[in-house]
Amino acid sequence: MGSTSALSAMRTVDCHAHVMRIGAPLTEDRHSGPARDVLVEELLEVLDQNSISYGVLVAPSFYGADNAILLDALGRYPERLRGTAIVDPEAGPSLDALDGRGIVGIRLNWVRRQHRPDPGSKAYRRLFDALRERKWHVELFLEGELLPDVLPILRRSGVALVLDHFGCPEPGQGVGSQGFRLVLAAVRDGAAWVKLSAPYRLRGADPRPYVDALLEAGGAGRLLWASDWPWVGHEGACTYQECLDALRRWVPDEAARQIILADGPQRLFGF
């Protein structure tokens, strides 16, 4: 998998990357911001250099529910890109406005939030109903120690789930933490996919035990690989090739890597 030729033989997917502009309005309740302009053409150049066929653009939290930059990128390169948007269900969002524009899911970026929305509210229940009808997923970014308050509600809603960055487990208790046990159960039950991405967001923990537990719980078909490019808040922490090399270390079996890199995400995101 480390060679360009091996990757180019597969239709691989990077399941988590961002585009952004410095001059765009930022939401007040944010924990990060763009360090520079990151245009979609730069992302596609990076994908091409690393023999990655497709990309999933994830709406960054600092724009709130303004998806203009994301939608512009998807509209210009619909064959290669899909996206997850951020919406405000309390404002009565119209998902119809996102239909047919490359959106395949809604992101709940609730990490490092002083005030977290209530996923059990009437507005969120309506949102989840609409997502189920469209067969879109909910992508969740939340500290693992807070998952016990949120993940059971999401599972009861019946929406397909994608959990960012290994499920963000609490490092002190590792694979035995309550939140990560819920992640493993969701994977085992076929209710969630988990991204193997951004190990620098694991608060110093070694990702390999999490990967081993996830593989045992649900197999490669419930795992996705992502670069997290351009590594917001961790710019310079790694290179794209190092992100690919990390997957090879975590998942030595080539057949399993093909499922994670290509087969599974193609089906999930509709490439």
Question: How many CA atoms are closer than 13 Å to the CA of 105, on its beta-carbon side?
Answer: 26
pLDDT in tens, 175-198: 999 999 999 999 999 999 999 999
pLDDT in tens, 127-142: 999 999 999 999 999 9
Long-range own/partner contacts, residues 260-263 (CB < 8 A, 24 or more apart): 260/196, 260/220, 260/223, 260/224, 260/225, 261/1, 261/7, 261/10, 261/12, 261/13, 261/225, 262/10, 262/11, 262/12, 262/13, 262/53, 263/221
pTM above 0.85, yes or no: yes
CB of 5 closer than 8 Å to CB of 56: no
Q: What are residue 223's DSSP bridge partners?
A: 194
| Angstrom distance (rounded) from CA 105 to CA 134 | 9
Q: What are residue 162's DSSP bridge partners?
A: 139, 193
| Angstrom distance (rounded) from CA 124 to CA 129 | 9
Going by pLDDT thresholds of 50, 70 and 90, the confidence category of residue 2 is very low
pLDDT in tens, 30-86: 778 888 999 999 999 999 999 999 999 999 999 999 999 999 999 999 999 999 999
Q: Per CATH, is 4-269 categorized as 3.60.20.10?
A: no
Task: Tell me the average pLDDT of the chain.
Answer: 93
Domain-wise residue ranges, the chain: 4-269
CB of 186 closer than 8 Å to CB of 217: no
